[in-house]
Chains A and B, each alone.
Chain A
Amino acid sequence: MSQATLYSVSYDLSNTIASALGSVLPSGARDLITSSGVVTGFAVVIFAVIILAATMLNTILLIWWERKLLGRFMDRRGAMHVGFAGLLQNFADGFKLFRKDTVKPREADPLGFYFGPTAYMITSLAIFGILPISSGWDTGALPLTLLLALAIFAFAPLFIFVSAWSSNNKYSLMGGMRSAAQMIAYEVPLLLAVVSVVIVAGSFDLNTIVYEQQNYWFWGPLILALIVFVAAMLAEMERIPFDLPEAEAELVEGWNTEYGGMFFAFFMFTDYLRALVGSVLVVLLFFGGWTLPSWVPSVATSWPLAGIFWFMVKTYIVFGVFVWIRASLPRVRTDQLLRVGWNRMIPLGLVSVFVAALLVVAKCVWPFGCLPTP
């Protein structure tokens, strides 16, 4: 059996549905249904639905994972009543928010108020269309997936600021300004860390980057880049210790103060969506994606969908580290955050670029090994 890929699965499903429909329809319609154009169209829809469903499910699972982990760090239990071990609690919360009314302040700008959260969520969801999760499980054919993902990722401050400003609330405005300042400041170190990975891997294609990590994962030699990337990612995800745009102690809820109901759910959901993107990127760039080190027995990887499984395990462990950081660190202040960003993270990022260049020149580094020869 050839290895299943996202394309093959979508096409197979589409073909099956088309032929099943065709068998009960008259011949004219059958020809239309089973024509290659319609089947491809079906396949694209199925493709999108699979990605969307998987993303949503994973995000909701991620929230559950954070609640349970954070609970243990705090000596409590986390969600535990709805479903097994509280797995369905987030669905219940989502339904509750769905049923609630979204109250728009009278002076708020309706266009920005409703457009902001929606665009925030849609753009963040779009990233998952291009992230590979296993060999073959991606859209493929895009040589610049990493660049595109980061470009879409960088849209967020715009929408946050739009929704914050149109809320017509002082807390929202301050939160939005903080958010914009923070995200723009940390975009630079983030890209520097990514650049060092790209220099070593020699490609912007995430598949290639993962392929280049077959001998050693990049986190070892590029530990500086990893630190810069994780710190910048924490700031981009607005998680503690860098969650000051929504610092609930002074700004009530930051830029989403005025939101309730489904639009608030959009914000919360997208925050975790972005956390998922961050974890996935860390795994892809530094922890070998879906591959395992060569000393792992092949039993672990020989079964179908093993790549996806190990990829998810790594992603959840990386997110667990984010939760660990959240559980143990207080929040920093805006000026401190920006100072750390410009004065520490950017120099560190530059150093890591230099290290990456050395790595490419040296080819082989003890104790990690050599880069694969093209």
Chain B
Amino acid sequence: MSEMWINMGPQHPMTHGLWNLRVRIDGEVVLDVDPEMGYLHRGIEKISEDRHYNEVVTLMDRTCYVAGLAWEHLYILASEQALHITPPERAQYIRMTCEEFQRIGSHIMWYAAFVNDIGLMTPFLYGMRDRDLVLDLFQSFTGARMTYEYMRVGGVRNDLPPTFTDQARKVLDWLTDRFREYDQLCLGSSIFHKRCDHLGVLKANDCIAHGVTGPMLRSAGVKRDLRKDRPYARYDAVDFDVAVADGADVTARYLVRMEEMRQSIRILRQTVDWLEHHPGPVMAEHLPRWLGAPYAPVGREGYLLKRNYAKGVGFSAVEEPHGEAQAYVVNEGTEHPYRVKFRSPIFANLSAARQYLVGYRVADIPPIMGSVDPCIGEVDR
């Protein structure tokens, strides 16, 4: 058979989302790949410029639909810096709890999808079953299961319900056992090792050259985690290790993500304990009036016709489940952000596809792409 191009996407079971991977193959061997993104562009950054600071939070949930709270956290951190607001400590702990639970939820979702890619459907349903517990927790305090709209500039929308700490501990205990089961289904199977060992290798140098971050970078042996290297919220106050593996292959990424979930459980036990013993306000006290509630629209400048608020620029970087996400918010003294810009980690991870796909086989594409954990919503925004 001569060489040919095949399109894996935009409607293809391999692509977890709306993107296209053009693959040039010779028989079963991949000669060249060409990732095409942009099928899911919704103009979130532009829409943000027309919304109030808090209303942008509704878009953040839609940016990455499996890690909504992490993206909310990212945006809120940047906006708070731009607006010169400091949230109370309890709100910061709640945000950390949200982000770590979101990391667990996102990684379980990754596990389910990734293992489904190599033909094993059972863990998909186990994963979805266990992720539901995390979603139940989110629902108990945010009121929604996927689009949370929970964080606000200056704090969070509401305090945790009194039952939260007990439930969270139950969920953490349950998940600890389940993660062992996950490992048995994958690592305990020699077919899994046959499929995933030495596959999709992306060495540390290539990772750094292409801006690849997150579990992919850590699986190559680079110990970089923004929660340690550039602590935000109260990550400097909790005790955890950075999961690093060498091997840079699909198995290493699997190990790193599983270990990250275990570390998240470790962080969560600390934050849940803290939250139990430190009641307090969850909203900053001195907020501009227009951040708290809406008002009748008056003219282009609206509220600020006769007032001048401090201008500012905010930048934040968050270790999102998929990698390092960054946000940049410009506050020009109006109630709308002047400019919002995001850096999606997966965009960089996918752009390096040629480095870790060429030379493998067609059947290797789904596990390799699955190990990248693409979430196209945040790539295209």
Direct A–B touching, Cβ under 8 Å: yes
Interface residues of A (CB under 8 A from B): 73-76, 170-171, 173-174, 177, 240-241, 243-244, 247-252, 327-336
B interface, over-half SS = helix
B1-13 Cβ-contact flags toward A at 8 Å (1 or 0): 1001010100011
**Do B191 and A75 touch across chains, with their CB atoms under 8 A apart?**
no
CB of B263 closer than 8 Å to a CB of A: no
**Do A334 and B129 touch across chains, with their CB atoms under 8 A apart?**
no
**Do B4 and A330 touch across chains, with their CB atoms under 8 A apart?**
no
Task: Count chain B residues whose beta carbon lies closer than 8 angstroms to a beta carbon of A.
Answer: 33
Closest to B7 in A: A170
Starting from the known contacts A243-B119, A332-B195, 14 additional A-B residue pairs (CB-CB under 8 Å) come to A74-B124, A240-B120, A250-B8, A250-B13, A251-B362, A327-B122, A330-B118, A330-B119, A330-B192, A331-B195, A332-B191, A334-B28, A334-B361, A336-B195
CB of B121 closer than 8 Å to a CB of A: yes
How close is A280's CB to chain B, nearest CB, in angstroms?
Answer: 26
In the assembled complex, which residues on chain B have CB atoms less than 8 Å from the CB atom of A170?
A: 4, 6
CB of B116 closer than 8 Å to a CB of A: yes
Q: Give CA–CA (A249, B8) in the complex, Å.
A: 10
Q: Give CA–CA (A76, B365) in the complex, Å.
A: 29
Interface core residue of B4, B185, B191, B363 (most chain A CB under 10 Å): B363
Q: Give CA–CA (A330, B363) in the complex, Å.
A: 12
5 pairs of A and B residues whose beta carbons are closest in the complex: A331-B119, A249-B366, A330-B120, A74-B125, A330-B118
In the assembled complex, which residues on chain A have CB atoms less than 8 Å from the CB atom of B191?
A: 241, 329-332
A74-B126, A244-B363 known; A330+B6 contact, CB < 8 A: no
In the assembled complex, which residues on chain A have CB atoms less than 8 Å from the CB atom of B185?
A: 328
CB of B222 closer than 8 Å to a CB of A: no
CB of B189 closer than 8 Å to a CB of A: yes
Within 8 A of A (CB), among B272-312: none
In the assembled complex, which residues on chain B have CB atoms less than 8 Å from the CB atom of A328?
A: 120, 122, 185, 189
Interface core residue of A171, A252, A328 (most chain B CB under 10 Å): A328
Q: Give CA–CA (A103, B283) in the complex, Å.
A: 59
In the assembled complex, which residues on chain B have CB atoms less than 8 Å from the CB atom of A247?
A: 119, 363
A249-B366, A250-B14, A333-B361 known; A73+B122 contact, CB < 8 A: yes
**Do B195 and A329 touch across chains, with their CB atoms under 8 A apart?**
no
In the assembled complex, which residues on chain B have CB atoms less than 8 Å from the CB atom of A248?
A: 13
B109-120 Cβ-contact flags toward A at 8 Å (1 or 0): 000000111111
In the assembled complex, which residues on chain B have CB atoms less than 8 Å from the CB atom of A335?
A: 28, 361
Q: Give CA–CA (A241, B13) in the complex, Å.
A: 18
How close is B34's CB to chain A, nearest CB, in angstroms?
Answer: 16
In the assembled complex, which residues on chain A have CB atoms less than 8 Å from the CB atom of B361?
A: 333-335
How close is B360's CB to chain A, nearest CB, in angstroms?
Answer: 10
A249-B13, A336-B194 known; A330+B364 contact, CB < 8 A: no
In the assembled complex, which residues on chain B have CB atoms less than 8 Å from the CB atom of A329?
A: 119-120, 189, 191
Closest to A328 in B: B122
How close is A91's CB to chain B, nearest CB, in angstroms?
Answer: 24
A240-B119, A330-B191, A333-B195 known; A171+B13 contact, CB < 8 A: no
Q: Give CA–CA (A247, B117) in the complex, Å.
A: 9
Selected A-B contacts with CB under 8 Å, 13 pairs:
A74-B125, A247-B119, A248-B13, A249-B119, A250-B363, A329-B119, A329-B191, A330-B118, A331-B120, A331-B191, A332-B194, A334-B363, A335-B361
**Do A171 and B125 touch across chains, with their CB atoms under 8 A apart?**
no
Q: Give CA–CA (A340, B26) in the complex, Å.
A: 23
Q: Give CA–CA (A243, B364) in the complex, Å.
A: 15
Q: Give CA–CA (A93, B288) in the complex, Å.
A: 60
How close is B127's CB to chain A, nearest CB, in angstroms?
Answer: 11
**Do A249 and B118 touch across chains, with their CB atoms under 8 A apart?**
yes
How close is B83's CB to chain A, nearest CB, in angstroms?
Answer: 46
Q: Give CA–CA (A333, B365) in the complex, Å.
A: 11
